[in-house]
Amino acid sequence: MLRLAHTLEAQLRAAMERSFPEAAAHARQAGAPLDPQLVPASKPEFGDFQANGALPLAKPLGRKPRDIATAIVEQLAADPTFTALAEAPQIAGPGFINVTIRPERLAAEVAARLGDPRLGVPTAAEEAGDDPLPVIVDFSSPNIAKEMHVGHLRSTIIGDSLARVLEFRGHPVLRLNHVGDWGTQFGMLITHLKQVAPEALDTADAVDLGDLVAFYRQAKQRFDDDPAFQAAAREEVVRLQGGDPLSLKAWHLLCDQSRREFQKIYDRLAIRLSERGESFYNPFLGAVVDDLRAAGLLVVDDGAGCVFLEGVSGKDGAPLPLIVQKSDGGFNYATTDLAAIRYRLAPPPSGDGARRLIYVTDAGQSAHFAGVFQVARRAGWIGEGVRVEHVPFGLVQGDDGKKLKTRAGDTVRLRDLLDEAVERAEADLRRRLAEEGRPEEECFIQHVATTVGLAAVKYADLSTNRITNYQFSFDRMLALSGNTAPYLLYALVRIAGIARRGAAQGEGLGDGLAAGPLAFTEPQEWALARELLKFDAVIAEVEEELLPNRLCSYLFELSQVFNRFYDQVPVLRAEELARGSRLALCRLCADTLGLGLGLLGIESLERM
């Protein structure tokens, strides 16, 4: 209903301007035209929208807000485009204007969605003042030779969903996997492997990835404890960065092995990513520091190249630095991110020419990104109208509220976690089939279990407000009730069931009905129609605020409204005119759930 809301907003503003021409002229001069303050109604009894714009006018006009609202409503009544769209507005409380859209207009909106694969969501190109912007979503980004952990899983799932929403809106999206494939960790690992497993350095897959992770842990330990090892590791990094062929070969092998392991997870989750690791920016690191020096931002402090951050101070009140070059001349995570931001925003061919950068990582990196963004801004790399955003998320915790661990206290392997979700979904399904006495083919069971298991993991990650920590619980995410993937999938399955029974009676699920008039009489029908029409506004909100949980809450609410409708109003047994309209609602509901789940990266099911 976003388009209707825009129309309404313009009509209200015009009515305000006609009622109070002087105040309007004043406001326009000040560059802030009168604002109707139109918001969706807070309760269905109040209609569809509520305009609060009369209240702030009370003071400057020296009149009661109710009188102001009355004057605006009188002007609205004289506007035929308004009266064709809405019922006579009601004034409520101190001076709110409640607006109810005419039923035939609502029904027409529903009808317009029926044959529309975009369900009323415009592409950015179709919207005035909203051009498609090249966007980069930097997500997943695990580290080579380390285990990809649940934090990376969260980034992967959230990042993928945001990328899908932006792509759906028609923005060109570059999905970048900023893998940690460079730096001291390789010096440590290669030095250690030379001594304990040299075959791993020149033969593919000579050791398991699991062993590699263990070797990395040992190497790190030695690095921290043993100065001689530390020196050797540093030399190794220098060799690698200098392009020494043996070091490079070892590095390639290690990266390759990790990469294949990561890819298995991405394939399972149907996630597309372009790998562009930290090493990509290696050639640009020196130029970053030169740029910062030229901009007068670089300060050498204790031998290290730093930029002191504005508005960020440490415990002693002194400003905190962002270190961009270590005292040994080496570069770090921040330097790489500075090089990345510079490259991503620079116009092609020397950069990506992106206009919006989105980084999806745990909230623990908030200070890092705030520092990097500030330095990039002060260096002049972030042009006007460009958005650079960190999308932080909280920790994944176990049932006990502590960091997610296996019973033995190890970090949980993602593969095991996904396997367990699917196994549990399968066990639930077999139990249900046995209870219902339903015989099903094995391939059906496998397909449903895999879809439900993966959907549950993704949805659990997406449906909580990402800023807060969330407790990982298989029981909760796989439950058939509550705000879960199985609940939403079940609503879809219910509708598919109606379609099948309808088809058996020679009744399409609203197909061919788009042309016919829709007539709704029951409050449950209106409630469902109104809920369906909110979809476009929800997508706009997710695009703006980068909160996938808003889409989840909407789909959950929609499923509940649908279930209420279906439990209380006959569909296939209704008389003919009502039946057509109700089937149309069912179909639009299925399409909306399917599209919405798709934007979350979740596959739909017809039966489960």
Cβ closer to ligand ARG: 220 or 564?
Answer: 220
> Could you please report the per-residue DSSP string of 401-444?
SSBP--TTSPPPPHHHHHHHHHHHHHHHHHHHHHHHT----HHH
> Could you please report the per-residue DSSP string of 443-475?
HHHHHHHHHHHHHHHHHHHHHS-TTS-EE--HH
* Interaction pattern, residues 319-348, with ligand ARG; x per rule: CB under 6 A: ------------------x--x--------
Which positions ≥6 away from 48 have C-beta within 8 Å?
1, 40, 41, 99, 100, 101, 530
How many CB atoms are closer than 10 A to CB 69?
Answer: 28
Q: Which of 19, 143, 483, 559 binds ligand ARG (CB under 6 A)?
A: 143
Question: Do the beta carbons of residue 360 and residue 139 sit within 8 Å?
Answer: yes
Cβ closer to ligand ARG: 15 or 135?
Answer: 135
Cβ closer to ligand ARG: 69 or 340?
Answer: 340
Give the residue closest to ligand ARG by C-beta: 141
Query: Rule CB under 6 A: which of 160-179 touch ligand ARG?
Result: 178
- Long-range CB contact pairs, 574-580, < 8 A, 24+: 577/519, 578/519, 578/521, 579/507, 580/510, 580/513, 580/516, 580/518
CA pair distance 542, 602, nearest whole angstrom: 17
CB of 263 to ligand ARG, least distance (A): 16
Q: Is 138 in the site for ligand ARG (CB under 6 A)?
A: yes
CB of 149 to ligand ARG, least distance (A): 8
In the structure encoding, which two tokens stand for residue 566, read together? Answer: 């279906």
CB of 169 to ligand ARG, least distance (A): 23
CB of 276 to ligand ARG, least distance (A): 10
Q: Is 359 in the site for ligand ARG (CB under 6 A)?
A: yes
Question: In a 3-state reduction of DSSP, which class is residue 90?
Answer: strand
CB of 550 to ligand ARG, least distance (A): 24
* Cα of 213 vs its chain's centroid, Å: 30
Task: Identify which range of 5-13, 65-73, 137-145, 405-413 contacts ligand ARG by CB under 6 A.
Answer: 137-145
Cβ closer to ligand ARG: 151 or 596?
Answer: 151
Cβ closer to ligand ARG: 152 or 579?
Answer: 152
Question: In a 3-state reduction of DSSP, which class is residue 522?
Answer: coil
Q: Which of 241, 361, 464, 559 binds ligand ARG (CB under 6 A)?
A: 361
CB of 601 to ligand ARG, least distance (A): 19
CB of 180 to ligand ARG, least distance (A): 4
CB of 465 to ligand ARG, least distance (A): 21
Cβ closer to ligand ARG: 95 or 142?
Answer: 142
CA pair distance 81, 355, nearest whole angstrom: 38
> Could you please report the per-residue DSSP string of 546-559?
--HHHHHHHHHHHH
Q: Is 486 in the site for ligand ARG (CB under 6 A)?
A: no
| 606 DSSP assignment | S
Q: Is 141 in the site for ligand ARG (CB under 6 A)?
A: yes
Cβ closer to ligand ARG: 185 or 581?
Answer: 185
CA pair distance 601, 583, nearest whole angstrom: 27
- Residues binding ligand ARG: what is the number (CB under 6 A)? 10
* Interaction pattern, residues 409-448, with ligand ARG; x per rule: CB under 6 A: ----------------------------------------
In the structure encoding, which two tokens stand for residue 118, read together? Answer: 């975009």
Letter for the amino acid at 285? L
How many CB atoms are closer than 10 A to CB 117?
Answer: 8
Cβ closer to ligand ARG: 142 or 170?
Answer: 142
Q: Is 261 in the site for ligand ARG (CB under 6 A)?
A: no
Cβ closer to ligand ARG: 141 or 524?
Answer: 141
> Could you please report the per-residue DSSP string of 263-322?
HHHHHHHT---EE--GGGGGGGHHHHHHHHHHTT--EEETTEEEEEEEEEE-TTSPEEEE
Cβ closer to ligand ARG: 361 or 592?
Answer: 361
CA pair distance 448, 445, nearest whole angstrom: 5
Cβ closer to ligand ARG: 344 or 579?
Answer: 344
Query: Rule CB under 6 A: which of 544-583 touch ligand ARG?
Result: none
Q: Is 180 in the site for ligand ARG (CB under 6 A)?
A: yes
The dihedral over CA atoms of 567, 571, 573, 579, expressed in degrees to the nearest 10, equals 160
CB of 418 to ligand ARG, least distance (A): 19
CB of 64 to ligand ARG, least distance (A): 55
Cβ closer to ligand ARG: 359 or 381?
Answer: 359
CA pair distance 586, 578, nearest whole angstrom: 12
CB of 474 to ligand ARG, least distance (A): 25
Cβ closer to ligand ARG: 118 or 377?
Answer: 377
Task: Identify which range of 124-132, 136-144, 211-219, 242-250 contacts ligand ARG by CB under 6 A.
Answer: 136-144
β-pair type (173-177, 135-138): parallel
- Which residues in this chain contact ligand ARG in the complex, by CB under 6 A? 138, 141-143, 178, 180, 337, 340, 359, 361
